[in-house]
Amino acid sequence: TFANAAGPVGQAVAVRITADKARFFHCRFLGFQDTLYTHGNESRQYYFDCYIEGTVDFIFGSSTALFDSCVIYGKKGGYFTAASTPQQKTFGYVFRNCKFTGNAADGSFYLGRPWRPYAKVLIVNSYLSAIVNKKGWDNWGNAANESTTTFAEFGNTGEGAATTERVSWSKSITADEAKQLNTITI
């Protein structure tokens, strides 16, 4: 377990990962705002069967990261992710077979917002509970981000998975594109 016990005091990173090819298996990351900092434009990270909890932007940074079969637990309301993917990168964050849940009120969590203009977040074959806001994504108060970000979903289930009310600038990927995600290696 990696934990920041400062409580809800604003930014309080529990872990900052800068290394390339970092891998975490069966780990817990506990905090509030900014729990897990995936730092480094050239950093590639893999998380398997991990539990990550927080409030605002609690998974954030510029690394390419694959979250595989993880529980993403939102407390109080906020944003699950704040990616700052470099423009030239194919992938930012990929969540595959994950569970987005928490103790927050229904509709109180967005899947993500762009920390930088070319943020990329894909959520595939995951469970999205009712705490997920129907709009899904936020532009961080900057309409220009809507034309540069890649926020996409495919094959998700649960009360928060319906895409009919998602923001118009989010995307859905095809089944073939989703299959290609199975070949990602970190």
DSSP 36: E
Q: Are 44 and 23 in contact (CB under 8 A)?
A: no
Active site residues: 57
The answer to whether the Cα torsion of 177, 179, 176, 113 is positive or negative is: negative
CA-to-CA distance for 87 and 10, rounded, in angstroms?
28
Q: Are 173 and 154 in contact (CB under 8 A)?
A: yes
Q: What is the 3-state secondary structure of 115-178? A: CCCCCEEEEECCEECCCECCCCECCCCCHHHHHCCEEEEECCECCCCCCCCCCCCCEECCHHHH
Measured at the CA of 8, the angle between CA 52 and CA 61, to 5 degrees, comes to 45
Q: Are 149 and 122 in contact (CB under 8 A)?
A: no
Q: Quick check: helix, strand or coil at residue 39?
A: coil
